[in-house]
Amino acid sequence: MVKIKKNRWVKLLFNPGVIITLFLFFYLIFLIRGDLVKYFELISEKKFIQKSILAEENLKQAYLAELKQLDQSDYIEKLARLKLGLVKKGEVGYKIY
């Protein structure tokens, strides 16, 4: 009885259909695994690029707002006083350290 069961398993395992099916199964598993790894890497890279684009768009908006302010003479005067230390005629300039 034991020999019959063992013989049945041997016939089942060495059946060409079973061997081909197992080979295809493992081949597809390894094939899909590589694609899944690449897929998740691409998703991660996409998120990073989207964050970078959003940061650059925010920076662009800030630059456009400052550019719009540079058309006003009051803002230009304020920048000249703060960054260049310029003073009007009759004023005395001093620095605080």
Q: Indicate if the pLDDT at residue 64 is higher than 80.
A: yes
- Alpha carbons 6 and 13: distance in angstroms, whole number: 11
Task: For 6-52, write each residue's pLDDT tens digit.
Answer: 677 777 777 888 889 888 888 888 888 888 889 999 999 999 999 99
Rounded Cα distance between 46 and 44, Å, is 5
What is the predicted pLDDT for the residue at 33?
85
Residue 49 has a pLDDT of 99
Q: What is the pLDDT of residue 86?
A: 80
Residue-level pLDDT at 84:
81
- The model carries a pTM of 0.54
Burial 43-72 (b: 16+ CB within 10 A, else e): eeeeeeeeeeeeeeeeeeeeeeeeeeeeee
Structure tokens at 55: 């940061």
**Which pair of structure tokens corresponds to residue 27?**
């081949």
71-91 pLDDT tens trace: 988 888 888 888 887 888 888
